[in-house]
Amino acid sequence: MINIFWLRRDLMLEDNTALSHALKEGLPVMPLFVFDTNITDEMPENDPRISFIYDTLSGINEELRKTGSSVRLLRGDPSEIWESLTASFNINAVYINKDYEKHRDHPAVDRTSYLSPHLRFGTVSIRKIARIAAEQNQVFLSELIWREFFMQILCHFPNVVTENFKRAYDDIRWRNDESEFKRWCSGETGYPIVDAGMRQLNETGYMHNRVRMITAGFLCKHLLIDWRWGEAYFAQKLLDYKLSSNNGNWQWAAGTGCDAAPYFRVFNPDTQQKKFDPEKEYIRKWIKDADSSHYPMPIIEHDFARRRAIEVYQAGIKSYSK
């Protein structure tokens, strides 16, 4: 019988609460780290974050070898990995450190602050909220900082309202298919996580932040529709619409903004759904026929769309450099 100590975003041996509790029971402890392919498959090759994690784990292994132990490194879907582990080992308990990130990326879990409309219309003090966030929630504070950052970008670079912040993307040949844009607007793309987000927006004037990123990236990269079309649609619908944030986030999703997502990062909507809405709770709330034959087929196949987007972006950048 063993205990498993699952390392996630707590890559250290000293002052590690979960490890300390795992060792107290006197059973052998297996340190475990899982390279989650739901995440790594969407990252570019040779991503420095992967290298950093691997180097850190190598250092941890050096320390563990002194006691005759090591970290078991596995790669794959965590749910499948745990099925294999429970079949192979007599596991007494699994110890993990609580991850204080605000379920924040899971749209079915109602853990967002809903402060954005109040910040938009000035019914609360940004300074007061920032002080509270600094004391209680650093992740929320970082979101507030992004909000202020985009305001500064708009102030100093007002041309971003209608132009790419990174002019190297000016020659991208957007397809701008109006029929596909309408399907995206109405939540009928055939990708449930995208459609649920758009239907939530249309019905409530709100959309979960993680889903905003997914829907925006889908429009720009899967459908190759100009980010300005999507930004304008969000501007019509969002209760918390703020020009600087809307513009900054759309250019981030399109890869054209300051500190934007790289153009070759094309999120797989199916993978995003499995990661952030695995039980389809969010999807079923907004799409009543999600599992029926009436639900539309995908508007485009992901792998094809990803290849096409990368080719079009590369061609646009190359054309600009000439």
Residue 252 bears catalytic tag: no
Specify whether 286 is catalytic: no
Marked catalytic residue, from 209, 281, 301, 311? 209
Pick the catalytic residue from 61, 63, 174, 202.
174
The active-site residue, picked from 16, 164, 180, 227, is: 227
Encoding tokens for residue 139?
Answer: 């992740």
Active site residue 38: no
| Active-site residue, 174 included | yes
Q: Which two tokens stand for residue 242?
A: 């703020």
311 is catalytic: no
Q: Which residue is catalytic, options 6, 184, 229, 250?
A: 250
92: burial class by Cβ within 10 Å (0-12, 13-18, 19+)? Answer: middle
Q: Rounded to the nearest 5°, which phi and psi values hold at 5?
A: -105, 110
Angle at 99 between CA 96 and CA 101, to 5 degrees: 165
Strand 29-36 and strand 72-76: the pairing is: parallel
H or E element in which residue 232 lies: helix 227-237
146 catalytic? Reply is yes
Of 260, 254, 261, the residue nearest 316 (C-alpha): 254
CA–CA distance, 162 with 287 (Å, rounded to integer):
33
Q: 99: helix, coil or strand?
A: coil
Q: Which residue out of 143, 163, 188, 202 is catalytically annotated?
A: 143
Neighbours of 83 (CB within 10 A): 11
Q: Are 192 and 287 in contact (CB under 8 A)?
A: yes
Selecting among 38, 146, 163, 202, the annotated active-site residue is: 146
Catalytic residue numbers? 143, 146, 174, 209, 227, 250
